[in-house]
Structure 1
Amino acid sequence: MAEPQRIVIIGSGLAGASAAGSLREQGYDNELILFGREAHQPYELPALSKDVLLGNTDEPNRVHEADFYEAHRVDLRLGTEITEIRASERAIVDSDGVTHSYDRLVLATGSTPRTLPVPNADLPGLRTLRTIEDSLSLRESLTADARVVIVGAGWIGCEVAAAARRHGSDVTVVDPVDLPLRRVLGPTIGAVFRDLHADHGVHWRLGIGVDGFTPNGVRLADGSEVRGDVVVLGVGAKPNTDLAEKAGLTLAEGGVAVDAALRTSSPDICAIGDIAAHDHPRYGRRVRVEHWANAKDQGAHVAGTILGRSEAYTGAPYFFSDQYDLGMEYRGLADAEHDRLVVRGSLEDRDFTAFWLRDGRLRAAMNVNQWDDGVALQALVDSHAAVSPDQLRTATLADLV
């Protein structure tokens, strides 16, 4: 297959910028254009709900150094929105009506924070967290006299709650699920995070939905109101698939369907990151992951696919979180409500590793305030190791690899 003369990447987040960097690392020397809607050079998102929101820094980590793009002849076009893909013509159109041709196209369009289909969901004071501007603006509002209401007890909601308490704000978290993070971690580990935040002064309103918003706060389904000066929505993210859908690409699992090597239904287009509904050989089904490591690793992998290699992307999901004095890393993909949970260490002391087993094989692992076994945990999760609960509780994990 002839090497493409022009590769275009839509999306200047971690996935898109990683793809650009990997293409140059792998020897691609022809024209490379990276379009981004934001005015900033590509940056990573985790710090927005962690160090930036905590006040430890004003800047997130950049994907590449500032001079990388010029030095590596990456044509970085910031502040540019792409409005149309013409797959049959191998061309895209920007918001100024300018057409740009491509030989290969990478979609890395990311996600947009979700809102709720309830009255007054468009009130101007409601906050979401997706950009550096969002994080810096929200941080200014997290004062010691602020009443903060967070809708959503997932990862963003919990991390915003931890940052708000660090700034001394009065914090209430609302979620229709009865425990934070239950869908990802199950009831036992969800209770650990509930108690962690309660110990730091967070008020929980769990098991009850939101009926609407008011200028004074959040109205709940039981008719009560939680008053707040700052209301933050942390109810998930919507993959930005509009371009792909209008172009006629196949969609699946809420995202853009891609094969094992990250190719879409159009032979010249790949999709990576939040939008990619990946036919994952490790799990035997489509998997769509909205985490930092997935964006970074798929961005690196897709370069090889574009340049003619067809190796499957096999990376297991990985994410991390820091809340108060609790740090954790999660590897793998579990069904936390049904897989068997095994705990090594102490839940009460928040010093443990949790394992999820299905049919006697390890599906996922999460280390909490334990940092010595990361390599072994990754190897065990990657291999779907056949291990017993007793081995996981007592054996040296490296010996099980």
Structure 2
Amino acid sequence: MRVVVVGAGQAGASLVARLRSEGHEGEIVLIGDEPVPPYQRPPLSKAYLLGEMEEARLYLRPESWYAENGIELRRGARVNGIDRDGRTVHCAEAEPIRYDALALCTGSTPRTLPAAIGGDLTGVLTMRTLADADALRPLMAAGRRLLVIGGGYIGLEAAAVAAKSGLQVTLVEAAERILQRVAAPVTSDRFRALHAAHGVDLREGTGLERLIGDQGGRLTGARLTDGTELELDLAIVGVGIAPNDGLAEAAGLDLENGIRCDARCRTSDPAIWAAGDCASHPYEGRRIRLESVGGAIDMAECAARNILGQEVDYVPRPWFWSDQYDMHLQIAGLNQGWTDVHVRPGADGAASHWYYAGVRLLAVDAMNDARAYMVGKRLIEAGKSPSPSAATDPATDLKTLLKA
């Protein structure tokens, strides 16, 4: 059986590795549109951008590993079509590739600003790929004026790296507060204070009216919705990502906030699976799409096992993290539908925020508190919900909550 995997990111690399570790002896073809082997994305906007990590350390595995394990890695190849009847994928300037099973691990793409408001000006960047980081890194010079557009985790991480590099950073968030879509006000408060302490000019409830450029098309400034005008050297757009589901759509696969999959990562075509940022899947009576490293790995490994006929369900175990300055945020669970948030203070300024829907524990935001994160994660995965008073009492030994 020949398995073809489109997308050589975290999900694609995890899927082919699992196929081999589960004993698959047939052909495996891994197709990626970037010129480099599969690599980690999280360090791009942190250690790599700061010059603290070399490119080779980003690679998930040495390039030689793929050949050593009988995996044909095609770099810099873009798939432009799927023939479901003929079970082939078509790449530009290459012969069609036949498959017995196909996995789509096509990831996601940063949302950009329209050209009508200056989104196409030179100096306006996004932060997603190695090429993005390589384009941005030489521009991150101390004293330069940067506008970050978007107060989610992507924007906040970019602001943190820029501030650490000595840039003058302004961040605008059109919503009422930063992290409004993904966190409770108490978590927003914590990160607002953190960025203010590092000199970031953070403006909430303020959007971008337009970016301004010179006659050569280079960014020189911005006008905000409150009438403020800023002089700028560069801008980073962090307004979310969109699933790369165009290939699936063109092939006639079902979509629903990405490529629609069943509980076993199978698409509407029984010979095609999907995993990672591009795929939506069932979770507790609804459909979700997890934009996380952990989700990409777990879903891809489940898809690999099902390609081999093991028929196992993918059970999401959501977890996320973000590093900003000296703050290590770890998130367990999904906080959607929370009604109350309870704060547990930790040592040396650490804290954790426990999200409940009534009496049910949904999620934990842990800031420099690895113990709270680990216990919260295990509780959520076990379906256990300690009382909020017990969970957030500093006198409570968190481990005892696991035994209740």
The TM-score bracket by the shorter chain reads over 0.9
Q: Which amino acid aligns with 1:312?
A: D
Q: How does 1:15-164 map to 2 (within 5 A)?
A: 15-59=11-55, 60-96=57-93, 98-117=95-114, 118-164=116-162
Aligned partners of 2:266 and 2:273 also within 8 Å: yes
CA deviation map 1:350-395 (0-9, x unaligned): 4111111113111111211112344322211112322211111123
Give the letter for the 1:264 counterpart: T
382-391 vs 191-200, which moves further: 382-391
Local SS of the residue matching 2:300: helix
Q: Per-residue displacement from partner, 1:291-324 (whole Å, max 9, x unpaired)? A: 1111122122211110012211112211111111
User: Which secondary structure does the structure 2 equivalent of 1:362 belong to?
Assistant: strand
**Aligned pair 1:313/2:317, yes or no?**
no
- Alpha-carbon distance in 1 for matches of 2:2, 2:74: 15
- CA shift at 1:132, angstroms? 1.4
**Paired letter, 1:333:** L
Secondary structure in 2 matching 1:251: coil
Query: Match for 2:113: what amino acid?
Result: L
Q: How does 1:170-209 map to 2 (within 5 A)?
A: 170-209=168-207
Q: 1:72 to 1:97 in 2, by over 3 A?
A: closer
Instruction: Please state how far the C-alpha of 1:97 moved relative to its aligned partner.
Output: 5.5
Which letter does structure 1 place at the counterpart of 2:266? Answer: R
Whichever residue aligns with residue 155 of structure 2, its letter is G
Structure 2: state its 5+ residue gaps: 214-219
SS in 2 for 1:363: strand
| Distance in 2, Cα, partners of 1:300 & 1:319 | 18
Equivalent positions of 1:261-276 (< 5 A) are: 261-276=264-279
2 CA distance for matches of 1:188 and 1:374?
Answer: 17
- Give the 4+ runs in structure 1 shifted more than 3 A: none
Deviates more, 1:119-128 or 1:32-41: 119-128
Kindly report the root-mean-square deviation, in angstroms, between the aligned alpha carbons of the 2 structures: 1.6
Counterpart of 1:255? 258
1:333 CA drift (Å): 0.5
CA distance in 2, matches of 1:339, 1:269: 39
- Mapped to 2, the partners of 1:145 and 1:239 lie a distance apart of 35
2:343 aligned partner: 343
Distance across 2 between alignment mates of 1:88 and 1:346: 58
- Hey, what's the Cα distance between the residues in 2 that align with 1:69 and 1:88? 29
Where does residue 224 of structure 1 map in the other structure? 228
What are the within-5 Å matches in structure 2 for residues 356-395 of structure 1?
A: 356-394=355-393, 395=396
Equivalent runs, 1:262-301 vs 2, <5 Å: 262-280=265-283, 283-301=284-302
More moved, 131-140 vs 268-277: 131-140
2:352, 2:372 within 8 Å by CA — same for their partners in 1? no
Q: 1: CA distance between counterparts of 2:106 and 2:15?
A: 13
User: Of residues 166, 169, 172 in structure 2, which corresponds to 1:168?
Assistant: 166
CA separation in 2, counterparts of 1:388 and 1:103?
Answer: 51
Q: Distance in 1 between matches of 2:263 and 2:358?
A: 25
SS in 1 for 2:277: helix
Distance 1:256 1:244 in 2: 7
The residue identity in structure 2 corresponding to 1:344 is R
CA distance in 2, matches of 1:272, 1:366: 25
Shift of 1:116: 2.5
- Give the drift of 1:100: 1.2
Partner of 1:244: 248
Say whether the 8 Å CA contact 2:364–2:373 is kept in structure 1.
no
What is the identity, as a one-letter code, of the residue corresponding to 2:282? D
Q: How many equivalent residue pairs? A: 392
Q: Matched residues in 1 for 2:307 and 2:324: separation?
A: 39
Q: Which amino acid letter does the alignment assign opposite residue 391 of structure 1?
A: A
Higher alpha-carbon deviation: 55-64 or 197-206 = 55-64
Q: Which moved more, 1:119-128 or 1:41-50?
A: 119-128
- The superposition leaves residues 177-200 of structure 1 with CA deviations (integer Å, 9 ceiling, x where unpaired) of 122212111211111101100010
Mapped to 2, the partners of 1:346 and 1:157 lie a distance apart of: 27
Structure 1's unaligned 5+ residue stretches are: none
